[in-house]
Amino acid sequence: MSTRQFFVGGNWKLNPTSLSKAKELVEVLNKAELDPKTEVVISPPALYLLPIQAAVTNKQILVSAQNSFYKESGAYTGEISASQIKEAGLPYVILGHSERRTIFHETNEVVALKTRAALDAGLKVILCIGETLAQRESGDTAKVCEEQLSAVVKQIKAEEWSNIVIAYEPVWAIGTGKVATTAQAQETHVDVRAYLAKAVTSLVASETRILYGGSVNAANAKDLAAQQDIDGFLVGGASLKPEFIDIINARK
Mutual orientation of helices 141-153 and 182-199 as an angle, nearest 10°?
Answer: 40
**Within 139-220, where are the H helices?**
141-153, 182-199, 202-207
What sign has the CA pseudo-torsion 16, 20, 24, 25? positive
Nearest Cα to Cα of residue 69 among 91, 93, 90, 89: 93
Q: Which residues are catalytic?
A: 97, 169
Separation between Cα atoms, residue 45 and residue 67, nearest integer Å: 9
Answer whether the bond into residue 16 is a cis peptide, omega within 30°. yes
Separation between Cα atoms, residue 169 and residue 207, nearest integer Å: 19
Mutual orientation of helices 108-120 and 141-153 as an angle, nearest 10°?
Answer: 40
Determine the residue type at 131.
E
Indicate the SS3 state at residue 112.
helix
The answer to whether 213 touches 167, Cβ cutoff 8 Å, is yes
